[in-house]
Amino acid sequence: MRNVVLLGPPGAGKGTVASRLVQELGFLHVSTGDMLREEVAKGTPLGQLAQGYMTRGELVPDEVILTLVRQRVDAKKGVLFDGFPRTVAQAEGLERFTTVDVVVLLELERDEVVRRLSSRRICGACGAVYNLVTHPPVEPGRCDRCGGALILRDDDRPEVVARRFEVYMRDSAPLVAYYEGRGILRRVRAEGPPAEVFRAVAEALR
């Protein structure tokens, strides 16, 4: 197994692709966004610190993220990093404790990002992800998996989405050149239907 990074703007479909890759290829899924939301839900000191950054669409400080990820990585299993690293400092920190073999960049235009995030809903109970347009629940407002109520993520409000996109362009887009320079970046267009995007990612990993 290899260590893979999924890179791309907010709403590009990283979580959607990751959950299928984990099911089909058995990666250990390390999603810093999910880990932070768990800490927020539990009300831990880390969660309290992270919440303000997340609600504003800013990045949580690099040292906090690196400590969190380091605790989760298991050297015996291939890891799928989703939403991490997000800065060059995080990428350098990651290299100090494990290797990155392939980076898949999901490319999506800003307008489509805004469309996808404004129609995304998540289950408040189990975290399952839906989309009112492309992946609606069977019963409106209810999770197919656990029956929980579907909600809009706090940071999917339009003004926060705009900020998250700016932060991505400023802090995370430089990772494209960083990994291109190491010869491990593969680009995938992310605007097709989920199954098509998944196939393209699986192909890029071959």
In whole angstroms, what is the distance from residue 177 CA to residue 184 CA? 10
The residue among 4 and 164 lying less far from ligand AP5, judged by its C-beta, is 164
Contact string 31-70 vs ligand AP5 (x = CB under 6 A): -xx--x----------------xx--xxxx----x-----
Residue 10: is it exposed, middle or buried by C-beta count within 10 angstroms (0-12/13-18/19+)? buried
The residue among 106 and 185 lying less far from ligand AP5, judged by its C-beta, is 106
Q: Residue 100, interface with ligand AP5 (CB under 6 A)?
A: no
Q: How far is CA 109 from CA 10, 42, 69, 114, in A?
A: 10, 34, 29, 9
In whole angstroms, what is the distance from residue 176 CA to residue 6 CA? 11
Q: Residue 3, interface with ligand AP5 (CB under 6 A)?
A: no
CB atoms within 10 A of CB 103: 24
Catalytic residues: 14, 86, 120, 153, 164
Binding site for ligand AP5 (CB under 6 A): 8, 10-16, 32-33, 36, 53-54, 57-60, 65, 83-84, 86, 90, 116, 120, 129, 131, 134-135, 155, 164, 193-194, 197
